[in-house]
Chains A and B, each alone.
Chain A
Amino acid sequence: MPDLLLELRSEEIPARMQRRAADDLKKLVTDALVERGFLYEGAKAFATPRRLALHIAGLPARGEAVREERRGPRVGAPEAAVQGFLKSAGLDSLDQAKTVTDPKKGEFYLAVIEREGRPTLDVLAEILPQVIRAFPWPKSMRWGAASAKPGALRWVRPLQSIVATFGPETETPDVVAFSVDGIEAGTTTYGHRFLAPGAIEVKRFDDYIQSLERAKVVLDPDRRKDIILHDARDLAFARGLELVEDEGLLEEVAGLVEWPVVLMGSFDESFLDIPAEAVRATIRANQKCFVLRRSGSEALAPAFILVSNLVASDGGAAIVAGNERVVRARLSDAKFFWETDKATRLEDRLPKLDSIVFHEKLGTQGERVARIAALAREIAPLVGADPDLAERAARLAKADLVTEMVGEFPELQGLMGRKYAALQGEHPSVAAAIEEHYKPLGPSDRVPTDPVSIAVALADKLDTLVGFWAIDEKPTGSKDPYALRRAALGVLRLNIESRLKINISDLLWRNYISRIDKHVLEMISVSDVFSREHMSNFSSQVEDIQYKIDTIQTRHEINAFRHVFMNDGNLLSFVIDRLKIYLRDQGARHDLIDAVFALPGQDDLLMVVRRVEALGGFLDTEDGRNLLAGYRRAANILRIEEKKDGRAYDAAPDPALIAQGVPEERALAEALDRATRDATEAVSREDFAGAMRALSTLRVPVDAFFDKVTVNADDPALRANRLSLLNALRAATRPVADFSRIEG
């Protein structure tokens, strides 16, 4: 079966866009083929700095023939109807139509239209230019004389040539005939810009990839990565060094070369006085080179790996010398930054934060630091941290943003602060918290364990969340420019993985209150602002307040309050949504999560998690499964009977009637009393496993009850009482979870 080869050769494509572009090319072309009914055996796309290529194997030479029957008017219908039928079916006369007989409607005409499948070559000639014209580059441009006209082709950088061939392995393939903005598809491409500048004629994918290889182009980005990685490791090993691996850098570097040549350079040992991370950042960010360490040690070696695109006539000596010069200049700058930064204490940098705007509507970094410091101090006792240390760490946490080093390498924020703090003799917990307060940076990042770090990390994230909610800047869809989802996940992981017992709405409230204008606070006479009761009071007073004190300031505050605490999509519900996602990612069943969240007041994160865990454990036992079955049976009967009678059986069962009943009924009533009491009591001690154990005692009496007792007794009073008993069973599970949400 024939194959398609497509190559789009352009000026240098940004490294970060190449992989996505290859994927898009494959998807767009294959989707368009499938949409037109063309199936294929396999497709693979490739990218280098100067080309995107696509190989689709096993396409049919033409599409499937289509046979369509079209029913016409009955025989003897008016002429107009017959003419209309002939026209729509594309027939010249009725001789070309068949006559068929329908038992009900009699004889009528039938046209059989057979269309041959379209040649794939034609379909490709239609699809490919469309894909090229509408290609989803993140940023695209116009160029050259053609750019004077509207509607000119846009591409990531100027598109230079197109190769498009289609045909079976055994024959010379056809060129897919199309052109885009004057670029004709053909069979000519070019190899490496410097090493093999001549034109190459290609037929199909097999000879294409080989010709490119001869012309010093490795088409497959993963092969380029392999070559770089292995050559780099070997080169390092030969000098007794180890490569500091870096997947992001590897991916980028593989997108900067068509023919990777790995070389090693060195720098002066004295630059290793600079913190290793800063050396690495300098060499990585500016030079896109890898750093090395001494074998078996964490310490960096004064050497680096560079990846060039050239087999140089001097074996690379000039390239290495040139790169070494630049690395030397950059490291000199880094060393200068490091020495300059050390000369100023972190606290002396704080006034500078007052002139840096954090966000237009959220004030300066200085104001933010003051809030975080106050909140960290409040949180400290809750997490077992020294309040003075937590406050100190929070005060210094952002000071490194105004150091030279972080100005140059923003990714070193926190880390440099820690180094400078340690050098100026701060408490080790304070130094650690300066780095760790940004953590965790995502689902797989480490959660800090030092209580001081936890206090500052929580304060930082809560301040961010409350702030952005107050100005109604929430994440929407794929847009989350302030990384608020990450901040919320951070709050959750800090609480859950450090086993903290903190009430989340209380924390949000504390931070919120610290932002409110003092005037407004006085006006709404909140004396003890740090309590949840006040939150709900405030909440109920909101409408009132708006009428009483209608100033711009109060209106502003009240709007902010609504965004944070009341409106749809308020912060607490956002955090809880993130918690559900977090629990699901941890493997918890979504129905158990719903069963727990169906209970009111679930804002103690750790408690929620433990409840879900305990419930899952319980339902894995035989007692648990049986009790769930019993619960369901009871709930079903109640649902049916309550619907039938149009009333609820929510009264407590009458002990007198139970005393007269069968022994199993009495046994269940007693067991329910005990289990409800024990489960409620265990929940109040936050002993969820204990609550589950209490419920599990119900299994035997419940089974026996359903075995021996007829609920729908003839005596209406007895029947009503037994239904109330079932209701008591349904209610007994409520302190633990809403069992009706449990599936399976």
Chain B
Amino acid sequence: MSSPVDLSPKTSFQGLILTLQQFWAAQGCVILQPYDMEVGAGTFHPATTLRALGPKPWKAAYVQPSRRPKDGRYGENPNRLQHYYQFQVILKPNPENLQELYLASLAAIGVDLGLHDIRFVEDDWESPTLGAWGLGWECWCDGMEVSQFTYFQQVAGFECAPVAGELTYGLERLAMYVQGVENVYDLNFNGGEGADRVSYGDVFLQAEQEYSRHNFEAADTAMLFRHFADAEAACRSYLAAGAPAEEGGRHRMVQPAYDQCIKASHVFNLLDARGVISVTERQSYILRVRELAKACGGAWLLTEAGGAALAA
């Protein structure tokens, strides 16, 4: 029985996502759903940030809607969006053949490696807000960056032991490439033809316009400043509430605290887009978020998933 729509990764945006999920599921990854909060990148998902810490092996893949309020262009730029999708893969420890796996995943979504020039170009990744850094590459396909490939060395201020490999696919860019379109809004989303065709623009253009207005013009800055302070305080109080009663005990409330760290980070991004944070203040806000991330990372290492039982 043939499908009424074409779910090939070269024909539809969702086909691309489904193919990547299939590919990484076959590698033993747990396929998660997006984290249910606003984040700037797939790395913020606790499945990456927290799970990258501690000795326990972990393999996961998921799509993560990512919000970059400053990148909004009112739907008028063919490449830039304030909301877009990342496909995130995290493998701890990184397998020896991670580069080969990555290339195989490109082949799976229809990139012919005998026809296209794939290159690994130096890119040292750093997230000042997460207190994280790693070494790796931008992966280029015919001169276009389509993914980031990072060996995490440190997350939330803690050394990664063992090191996790992180792959981040820019889904819209990849889809534009394999579908051969020049404007993101022209992407075929569902693989339908004629009246059944749903484009990326059908799904997201209006949202891009509305959120650009919101991010640059309307976002309530007084409320946001309040929310930042509230999230910061809440993060600290949840961490304190869950702290181990005695030396060597477990932490019992890391993930709710980390949610508040994520929230503070996104609120900061909104304030930044509104242009109400000066250059000097900017640094201090980034630092405040990093302190939260570090505190959450430290607490995570005192939980079972963080490997506390193994260490004891």
Closest to A311 in B: B114
Question: Across the interface, do B144 and A325 meet the contact criterion of CB distance under 8 Å?
Answer: yes
- A325 to chain B: which residues have CB within 8 Å? 142, 144, 182
Question: Across the interface, do A355 and B278 meet the contact criterion of CB distance under 8 Å?
Answer: yes
- A322 to chain B: which residues have CB within 8 Å? 116-117, 141-144, 177
Are A313 and B94 CB-contacts (below 8 A) given A355-B279, A357-B279? no
Quick one: which of A145, A146, A312, A328 contacts B117, CB cutoff 8 A? A312
The proximity string for B residues 122-147 relative to A, scoring 1 for CB distances below 8 Å and 0 otherwise, is 10100000000011110001111000
- A92 to chain B: which residues have CB within 8 Å? none
The proximity string for B residues 46-77 relative to A, scoring 1 for CB distances below 8 Å and 0 otherwise, is 00000000010000000000000000000000
The proximity string for B residues 78-103 relative to A, scoring 1 for CB distances below 8 Å and 0 otherwise, is 11000000000000011110010000
- A288 to chain B: which residues have CB within 8 Å? 121
Question: Across the interface, do A147 and B93 meet the contact criterion of CB distance under 8 Å?
Answer: yes
- Docked CA distance A356–B279 (Å): 7
- Docked CA distance A49–B118 (Å): 13
Give the total number of A-B pairs whose CB atoms are below 8 A apart.
113
Interface set, chain B 5-36, CB cutoff 8 A to A? none
Q: How far is the CB of A222 from chain B (nearest CB, A)?
A: 21
- Docked CA distance A532–B57 (Å): 71
Would you call A117 an interface residue if the criterion is a C-beta within 8 Å of the partner chain's C-beta atoms? no
Are A314 and B115 CB-contacts (below 8 A) given A12-B120, A355-B278, A357-B280? yes
Question: Across the interface, do B78 and A329 meet the contact criterion of CB distance under 8 Å?
Answer: yes
- Docked CA distance A170–B292 (Å): 65
Question: Across the interface, do B78 and A319 meet the contact criterion of CB distance under 8 Å?
Answer: no
Would you call A590 an interface residue if the criterion is a C-beta within 8 Å of the partner chain's C-beta atoms? no
- B121 to chain A: which residues have CB within 8 Å? 12, 15, 256, 288
Q: Which of B156-164, B217-225, B226-234 contacts A (4 or more CB under 8 A)?
A: B156-164
Question: Across the interface, do A194 and B114 meet the contact criterion of CB distance under 8 Å?
Answer: yes
- Docked CA distance A313–B151 (Å): 32
Quick one: which of A16, A144, A318, A356 contacts B163, CB cutoff 8 A? A144
- Docked CA distance A99–B137 (Å): 71
Would you call B113 an interface residue if the criterion is a C-beta within 8 Å of the partner chain's C-beta atoms? yes
Question: Across the interface, do A329 and B93 meet the contact criterion of CB distance under 8 Å?
Answer: no
Question: Across the interface, do B151 and A12 meet the contact criterion of CB distance under 8 Å?
Answer: no
Would you call B153 an interface residue if the criterion is a C-beta within 8 Å of the partner chain's C-beta atoms? yes
Q: How far is the CB of A31 from chain B (nearest CB, A)?
A: 28
- A319 to chain B: which residues have CB within 8 Å? 115-117, 142-143
- Docked CA distance A12–B134 (Å): 15
Q: How far is the CB of B312 from chain A (nearest CB, A)?
A: 17
Quick one: which of A141, A146, A328 contacts B151, CB cutoff 8 A? A141
Question: Across the interface, do A326 and B142 meet the contact criterion of CB distance under 8 Å?
Answer: yes
- A194 to chain B: which residues have CB within 8 Å? 113-114, 118
Question: Across the interface, do A144 and B122 meet the contact criterion of CB distance under 8 Å?
Answer: no
Q: How far is the CB of B154 from chain A (nearest CB, A)?
A: 10
- B122 to chain A: which residues have CB within 8 Å? 12, 14-16
Question: Across the interface, do A141 and B144 meet the contact criterion of CB distance under 8 Å?
Answer: no
Q: How far is the CB of B285 from chain A (nearest CB, A)?
A: 15
Q: Which of A146, A160, A326 has the most CB of B within 10 A?
A: A326
Q: How far is the CB of A188 from chain B (nearest CB, A)?
A: 15
- A49 to chain B: which residues have CB within 8 Å? 120
- A11 to chain B: which residues have CB within 8 Å? 99, 120
Closest to B181 in A: A325
Question: Across the interface, do A312 and B116 meet the contact criterion of CB distance under 8 Å?
Answer: yes
Would you call A310 an interface residue if the criterion is a C-beta within 8 Å of the partner chain's C-beta atoms? yes
- Docked CA distance A329–B79 (Å): 8
Q: How far is the CB of B117 from chain A (nearest CB, A)?
A: 4
Question: Across the interface, do A310 and B117 meet the contact criterion of CB distance under 8 Å?
Answer: yes
- B213 to chain A: which residues have CB within 8 Å? none
Are A147 and B115 CB-contacts (below 8 A) given A287-B143, A325-B182? no
Closest to A312 in B: B115
Would you call B119 an interface residue if the criterion is a C-beta within 8 Å of the partner chain's C-beta atoms? yes
Q: Which of A15, A160, A194, A328 has the most CB of B within 10 A?
A: A194
The proximity string for A residues 141-166 relative to B, scoring 1 for CB distances below 8 Å and 0 otherwise, is 11111111100000011101000000
Chain A interface size, as a band, is 35 or more
Question: Across the interface, do B116 and A318 meet the contact criterion of CB distance under 8 Å?
Answer: yes
Closest to B163 in A: A147
Closest to B280 in A: A357
Would you call A139 an interface residue if the criterion is a C-beta within 8 Å of the partner chain's C-beta atoms? yes
Q: How far is the CB of B152 from chain A (nearest CB, A)?
A: 9
Question: Across the interface, do A306 and B114 meet the contact criterion of CB distance under 8 Å?
Answer: no
Would you call A505 an interface residue if the criterion is a C-beta within 8 Å of the partner chain's C-beta atoms? no
- Docked CA distance A312–B151 (Å): 30
Closest to B79 in A: A329
- Docked CA distance A309–B142 (Å): 10
Would you call A559 an interface residue if the criterion is a C-beta within 8 Å of the partner chain's C-beta atoms? no
- Docked CA distance A257–B114 (Å): 15
- B134 to chain A: which residues have CB within 8 Å? 141
Are A145 and B135 CB-contacts (below 8 A) given A322-B144, A329-B78? no
- Docked CA distance A145–B113 (Å): 29
- Docked CA distance A257–B143 (Å): 13
- A158 to chain B: which residues have CB within 8 Å? 96, 151
Question: Across the interface, do A326 and B115 meet the contact criterion of CB distance under 8 Å?
Answer: no
- Docked CA distance A14–B161 (Å): 24
Would you call A740 an interface residue if the criterion is a C-beta within 8 Å of the partner chain's C-beta atoms? no
- A149 to chain B: which residues have CB within 8 Å? 161
Would you call A323 an interface residue if the criterion is a C-beta within 8 Å of the partner chain's C-beta atoms? yes
- Docked CA distance A15–B112 (Å): 25
Quick one: which of A141, A257, A308, A356 contacts B135, CB cutoff 8 A? A141
Question: Across the interface, do B135 and A157 meet the contact criterion of CB distance under 8 Å?
Answer: yes
- A146 to chain B: which residues have CB within 8 Å? 162
Question: Across the interface, do A144 and B93 meet the contact criterion of CB distance under 8 Å?
Answer: yes
Closest to A156 in B: B135
Interface set, chain A 296-353, CB cutoff 8 A to B? 306, 308-310, 312-314, 318-319, 321-323, 325-329
Question: Across the interface, do A318 and B93 meet the contact criterion of CB distance under 8 Å?
Answer: no
- B278 to chain A: which residues have CB within 8 Å? 355
Question: Across the interface, do B162 and A323 meet the contact criterion of CB distance under 8 Å?
Answer: no
Q: How far is the CB of B107 from chain A (nearest CB, A)?
A: 11
The proximity string for B residues 156-183 relative to A, scoring 1 for CB distances below 8 Å and 0 otherwise, is 0000111101000000000001000010
Q: Which of B121, B136, B137, B141 has the most CB of A within 10 A?
A: B121
Are A256 and B119 CB-contacts (below 8 A) given A143-B94, A144-B163, A145-B162? yes
Are A141 and B163 CB-contacts (below 8 A) given A12-B137, A148-B93, A329-B79? yes
Q: How far is the CB of B288 from chain A (nearest CB, A)?
A: 18
Closest to A323 in B: B143
- Docked CA distance A131–B156 (Å): 32
Q: How far is the CB of B197 from chain A (nearest CB, A)?
A: 22
Given contacts A143-B94, A144-B93, A257-B119, 20 further A-B contacts (CB under 8 A): A11-B120, A12-B122, A14-B122, A16-B122, A144-B95, A145-B93, A147-B161, A156-B135, A160-B96, A256-B119, A287-B143, A288-B121, A308-B142, A310-B114, A319-B115, A322-B117, A326-B142, A328-B182, A329-B78, A357-B280
Residues of A within 8 A of B (CB): 11-12, 14-16, 49, 139, 141-149, 156-158, 160, 194, 256-257, 287-289, 306, 308-310, 312-314, 318-319, 321-323, 325-329, 355-357
Residues of B within 8 A of A (CB): 55, 78-79, 93-96, 99, 112-122, 124, 134-137, 141-144, 151, 153, 160-163, 165, 177, 182, 278-280
A-B complex: 4 closest residue pairs judged by Cβ atoms: A322-B142, A14-B122, A12-B120, A148-B162
Between-chain CB contacts (< 8 Å), 19 pairs:
A15-B121, A143-B94, A143-B151, A144-B94, A145-B162, A157-B151, A158-B96, A194-B114, A256-B119, A287-B143, A312-B116, A318-B142, A319-B142, A321-B142, A322-B177, A323-B142, A325-B182, A329-B79, A356-B279
